[in-house]
Each structure stands twice: as C-alpha cells, then as structure tokens.
Structure 1
Amino acid sequence: MKMPFGLKAWSPSFLRLSVNPFPLLILLAPLWVVKSCGDVQPDTRQEINDILLGNNVVATTGVIPLVADGRTAATIRITASPPVNTSYTIVGDLIDANNKPVLQFDKEGWRQVGTWYEEGYSGTYDEADRHLWLRFKPKISGDYRLKLKSEYFLDLKGAATNSRLPVTVVVTTSQFNGGLLFVTFIASAFLAICFLRLTYFRGRLCYGGKFKFLSSKSRNTRGIYDAGLVSLKLKGRYGYTSARQRRLASPRQYRVILDLAIQDSFGEILFKKDVIGWINFIHSESDEYFTVWMPCLFFRLDQPASLRFRISMPAFVERPDFIEQEWIQFELRDRVVVPWPVGATRIN
C-alpha cells in the first residue's frame, strides 16, 4: 500500500478522526471577508469647486475632516482644466489645524490642441494630462485643508504666460478597497476548498485503477487496512457491441448488480452484499455510451485487519439490448475522514 497522502501524513491525531467537522472551520475565512463588508461605514464624498489658480496664487480649500482609525483611507482627486496649448505645474500641501503641512505633492500637466494629417486624412485633437489622485491613511484624526498653487504657465514655445487654471477637488473616504477585498475573498475561498479536498474523503489509497475485467484484480486488494473508515468508490462505462446498436425504443437506464464480498486473512467471508447500481445512457455528438453509477460504500474497522475485497460486475447486459462492459474504475481507501456521519458497515 502507498504511504499516507497529503495532510494525513503529519496532522495531529484529533484531525485524523473518522468523523471530524473541525476542518470545516476554515470556511470561516472567506465568510469573515464577507462579514467585514457589512461592518464598514459608508463612503463619504466631498467635492470642492470654484478653485482658480494663477501664477504663484495660493488657494486654500475649506475644512476636510479625516478620521484616523487604521481602516479608513482617504483619496484626493484633483482635476485641472488648463488653457489650450499650455503646460503648467500644481504644488499642493495638506495642512492640519495648526497650518502644519502633513502631506506634500506636485503635478506637472499640459494641454495641446491641433490638427493631424496622415495618408490623406486629417482631423483635430485635444489631448491633456490634467488628473492627479492621492490615496493615504491619516495618522491623526482632525480637520485638514488643502493649499494649492501654480508656479508657472508655459506656451508651446516655452515662454511664460499669464493664465488661469480652474481646479476641482474631490475627497472621498472608504474603509476598504473593493477590488482587493474581492481578490482576498476569491483567494481565501480557493485555499479553503483545496484544504477541504485534501482533508475529506481522500485517506490513503490502498488499491485502485481502471480495468477491463474487474474480478481478475480482486486478489490485488489484499492488504492491511487501518482502523477507521474504509471507502469503496466505483464508476465505469458500458457500450453497445458492434453487432447491436441502440433502437429507438431502447431504455435509457439499466439496473446492474455489484457482487461484493470481504474476506479476512483466512478466507472467511466477513461481509457479503449485492449492491444495486444503475447504468445511464449518455448521448454525445460523436458517441453513445452508458455510465455506471454506484453509491460510495463505507466500512468501519475497529482495529487494523488483513482484508481482501472480491468485486465483480456483469460483463454484459443482455435484455432488452446487448451492451458490454468497456472499463471499470474503482478506488479502495482507508484512513478516510468525513465531515459528518455516514452509513458505514462495521466489519470486525
């Protein structure tokens, strides 16, 4: 048999209980992200218009209240409307109630209007660099103001001009970044699902594979199975033989019996049962076949035991049509962990 896979190789003993809901607690991680959306305060928005800058003319905005709680971030967006064919600069200071600058920034922008010509075509263009935004978290709560000025205006030839620059300031506050929160939710949910897939219903693969004839592989299932849950999963495929094809009145589902017996090391039969499954018709663009549906079977061992599983399914289903078995795939696993109680048959 193979060595334990994944988390089972190193996890503490209480995590290897056959029925263990504790790993489900990892789902609280993405749920916490969702809950945090409901705990945030609504965004605030303050728009300041009618700011007009000139050469070395200082303009000071009204009061901008900011909160320093470790979660709230403030964003300042400045939009200028420069004259045509002009470059400019904006120098700004965010000052506190004591007129002390706590944040300084500058912005160089321009606007150019003209006519373009290319391969017999022409048109006009109006291009500009007029936007600036800053995002930060205040260290101290209080009332702040924004002080702005423009140091120069230049025309296309680089000569100084006497111009005016209308500016609009928008200040918003929010307690979370929506894009980052969405990425965090997706990442935490993905990691939680991966963790649960590694934890539940995997156990240790004792024997399994995809075979043409299932009964001939029965002897390979003999081995020492650990105490706890043992699972048997089976799926397969049937198809029409070359001599028979599906008729219009052919059924879309067949009943099939799985003959299962479990023996101990002395050959004594500890468990025997005929398990009812179904063969369901599947139609695709290129093929018609049947898939085998068989319930997952669980067995409980009170102590380690040497067992052999005798498994067989009919190679043909003759009535009302003649379909044959193409392949059967099954997996035998011990040390299986489930999140809730399952119907398990006690073997010893």
Structure 2
Amino acid sequence: MAATSDSHTARPLLVLWLLAVPFLLLIAAGGNRSFRGEVFLPATGEAMRTTPFKLNQGWFGAPRIALKVRQPINSSSLINVELLNDQDQVVLSFHKDTWRESGTWSEGGESGSWDEQDTDLNTEFRPGQDGTFRLRLSLEDYINSRSYAARQVTAPGSNLPVLVEIYTNTLDPGLLVGTSVVLLLGFGIYWWYEYAPKRVLRSFTRNETNLALTESFPDQAMLKVTFGARYEEPDHPVQTRSQSQTSFFCPVSLSITDAWGNNLVVRRESLLLNAFQIGEDDQGFRGEQSLYFKLKTTRRLRCRIEVPEQLDRGVIELERLSLTVTELTRTMGAKTMEELA
C-alpha cells in the first residue's frame, strides 16, 4: 500500500520567502525620500529655515534627517540643527562639527594628493504625531585651516550651502542585519531538527554484485533506501560499445525481509545509468535511485540489492555498487511511501 507523506512535507516557497524577507527589508532600510532642498547659511550666524515638509508617525521604520554640508577645502564648521513643528516649537535639536582637508604627499619617489572630509549630519527619530515640520539651521563657527594656528575665525567667501534630505520609513541596517542573522540561525536550527536524518546506515564496496544491510527500526519509522551503481568499460571488452550510446538501464533486484525471513518487498527496479567522463578518453556510466518506506510497527529489517556484473553483453562492467538506508524524521517534499506491514 502506498501513502503520500503530506504531514511531513516542506514548503520550498515559504522557505525562499523567509530567506528573502531580511534582504528585502535591508533594501527598504534606506527609506523613501520625501523632501529635498538646499539651505545657504550666512557667516553672520543668522538662522535659516527650510520649506515645510510632512512627517507621519508610522509603524514601519522612522524618519531620517540627512544633511550634507558642501564644505570648502581646508575648513571646518559647527552646524546647529533644530526641528520645528507647525507652532515653531523645537521638538528636536542637534549639532555637529564638519570639516574637509586636502593636501599632497610624497614618499619614496612617489607623490599624490588626498582629500578627506566629514560633512554628513544624520539622525533618526520618531515624531510624537503626524504634522508639518521645518528645519532651522545656523552656522555657529567657520574656521579656515590656514588660520587655525592663530585661532582666527574667518567667514567663508559666500554663504555655506547645506543639502537637506528627509527620508521616511528608514530602518537601522546594523540592527536589521543582526536580527536577520539571529532569525536565520534559529530557522536553520529548527530546519535541521525537523528534517535532518535520524540515522544514516551506509554499505559501500567495489566489484560486488550484491549488498545487504540489517538494522532495527522503531515504530512508524520512515526509511529512505538509496542504491547506486557505477559501470565502466572493461580493459578487454567482448565487443565495442557504440559511441552514440550515452545511457544504459541496469536491472536491480530489491528485497526487504523481516527478522524471520518473511519477504516484505521483492521486486525488480530499473536504474538509469547516464554517461560521465573519466579522464580524457574513457567514459563511465552511473545512476542513483531512492525509494521510501514506512513501518507500522517496530521491525528488524534486512535490505538487499543485486545487479548484474556486466551490461549489454559485456560492453560495460560493474565498478561500484552502493546501498544507503536512512531513517528520516520528515521528508523535504511530498513523497510516496510504501507501507511495510
């Protein structure tokens, strides 16, 4: 009697979705840009405001304020930033020193130039409520590096430009990656626990036409019986193989008996052998097949397979025969299982 293992079926699409979710979230971590503008800060320290923009108190992610100071070469600035609500109340404030330095270097007969800077101001927050907001920015300090030794503050040649961008629904990439790794690790442990084989009993030899394996199995055990064969051309073949022949069918005699010698399964399988390359000139043929069985009660079983020593009247001969019996917890897909009474 054949039974399909529905309760032990994995769902590949669900697995792919679970694996894809962290990467989709990582892509979405940058958020959606909802505002972009530029503010020019005068050296007098006068505060300048952006045009109004809307922020929503959403459940996914948080708004991010991203400012980029177009810093002149060899200078530093202190930028004050305040977030104002529609009643001109300060709901968030922060500041940062920005700088940009450049120069030349020479060493060992080689030379070049360098340009380093730290001109970004970024912060993430969650507004207390939906509404219309504006940013108020001011330039508190501007120092030219050439006059820094003398502690002289010099004004920039023109107003200092600051690029302002607002992103909604941003996520913390570091926290997201860490959480995703932990979730995937936990899912992997669960997957291994659910679907990993309980036991693998392997018999493997060369130049033997039959193999047998005897073992005891518990009640309701699921067994996967895998047999494989490899054939090659003999050193002195009886007749020459057709070069166009790329496959053979190998008859396999399979029998499963209980501890008292009663036959539970006796049948003949046909194993497809496909060609593969051995070295530059030689060619071999190999194949593998799996069958699934389910026990109703605890049994001690003896599984035996047998194949011919030669195929197609001596064109190819057996090089290797393998038998693997695996006791499973679950199957990775829907499998038709034959019940062993």
With over 3 angstroms needed to count, the CA separation of the structure-2 counterparts of 1:33 and 1:281, relative to structure 1, is same
Alignment partner of 1:278 out of 255, 266, 272: 272
Number of the residue aligned with 2:243: 249
Which segment is superposed worse, 266-275 or 96-105? 96-105
TM-score normalised by structure 2 residue count: 0.76
Deviations 1:116-143 (A, max 9, x none): 5566676766654333222333333222
In structure 2, runs of 5+ residues without a counterpart are none
Displacement after TM superposition at 1:308 (Å): 1.6
Displacement after TM superposition at 1:277 (Å): 0.6
3-state secondary structure, aligned to 1:90: strand
How far apart, CA to CA, are the structure 2 residues paired with 1:22 and 1:274? 28
Instruction: Give the letter aligned to residue 147 of structure 2.
Output: K
Displacement after TM superposition at 1:302 (Å): 2.6
Displacement after TM superposition at 1:233 (Å): 1.0
Number of the residue aligned with 1:108: 97
Instruction: Give the letter aligned to residue 143 of structure 2.
Output: L
Deviations 1:28-59 (A, max 9, x none): 6457669989x99x834211224223232211
Number of the residue aligned with 2:53: 64
Equivalenced residue count is 327
TM-score normalised by structure 1 residue count: 0.75
Aligned ranges 1:279-294 → 2 under 5 Å: 279-283=273-277, 285=279, 288-294=282-288
Which segment is superposed worse, 202-211 or 112-121? 112-121
With over 3 angstroms needed to count, the CA separation of the structure-2 counterparts of 1:124 and 1:20, relative to structure 1, is closer
Number of the residue aligned with 2:162: 167
Number of the residue aligned with 1:20: 7
With over 3 angstroms needed to count, the CA separation of the structure-2 counterparts of 1:112 and 1:23, relative to structure 1, is closer
Displacement after TM superposition at 1:299 (Å): 2.6
Which segment is superposed worse, 184-193 or 153-162? 184-193
Establish whether residue 343 from structure 1 lines up as the match of residue 333 from structure 2. no
Deviations 1:144-191 (A, max 9, x none): 221211112222222111333122211122355789879978986786
Number of the residue aligned with 1:199: 194
Number of the residue aligned with 2:309: 315
Number of the residue aligned with 1:14: none
How far apart, CA to CA, are the structure 1 residues paired with 2:192 and 2:105? 61
Aligned ranges 1:112-261 → 2 under 5 Å: 112=101, 127-155=116-144, 156-158=146-148, 159-163=152-156, 164-174=159-169, 195-196=190-191, 199-200=194-195, 203-205=197-199, 207-212=201-206, 217-218=211-212, 220-244=213-237, 249=243, 251-261=245-255
Displacement after TM superposition at 1:278 (Å): 1.8
How far apart, CA to CA, are the structure 1 residues paired with 2:112 and 2:265? 87
How far apart, CA to CA, are the structure 2 residues paired with 1:80 and 1:35? 31
Displacement after TM superposition at 1:256 (Å): 0.9
With over 3 angstroms needed to count, the CA separation of the structure-2 counterparts of 1:316 and 1:177, relative to structure 1, is farther
